[in-house]
Amino acid sequence: MKLTYRGVEYDYNPPVLEVTPSNASTQYRGQQSQYKYVRHVPIPQPAERLSYRGSAYQTTRTGEIQQLGNDTATPNTWTTLGGKLTGHSSASRARRALLEESTALHQQNIARSLQHRMEVAKQRGNQALLEQLESEMRQSV
């Protein structure tokens, strides 16, 4: 089919779909007709070797899945990172030491602040506040 668009002529050949008539006949406004549908063309799938949670499998060109043996499976990342995950690395030891040091410093700051608040409560003679602060000190220790 020859077409022209903005002065440019070109041949347009629309793709032809393969149509298959069905066994079911229908009637529309009194006219008999036969239902036709487009034949499905299988699309080839890529064949890949994949791994999911350490289990190796392979896809085929038809889209099927084949389980592969353990000999072709990729090594488990959890076993290779075992030492790092259990906390035996030097970085995790340094991180743990820093965390313990900051926790101790935080506890000291809380105790110092509580002690100062108790001294102020004694100076003002506020016995109810003093009892609350003593209760808080017992809970924090």
DSSP 90-141: HHHHHHHHHHHHHHHHHHHHHHHHHHHHHHHHHHHT-HHHHHHHHHHHHHH-
The token pair that represents 100 in the structure block: 């313990």
Could you tell me the pLDDT band of residue 55, with boundaries at 50, 70 and 90? Answer: confident
Q: Cα separation of 22 and 32, whole Å?
A: 13
Q: How many CB atoms lie within 10 A of CB 91?
A: 9
Counting beta carbons within 10 angstroms of the beta carbon of residue 20, is it exposed (0 to 12), middle (13 to 18) or buried (19 or more)? exposed
On whether the CB atoms of residues 83 and 89 are closer than 8 A, the answer is: yes
Q: Cα separation of 130 and 119, whole Å?
A: 9
Task: Tell me the average pLDDT of the chain.
Answer: 82
Dump pLDDT digits (tens) for 87-128: 567 777 888 889 999 999 999 999 999 999 999 999 999 999
Taking Cα atoms as reference points, which of 134, 84, 88, 85 lies closest to residue 111?
A: 134
Has residue 32 got a pLDDT over 50?
yes
Q: Cα separation of 63 and 46, whole Å?
A: 8
On whether the CB atoms of residues 26 and 11 are closer than 8 A, the answer is: no
Q: Is this prediction's pTM over 0.75?
A: no
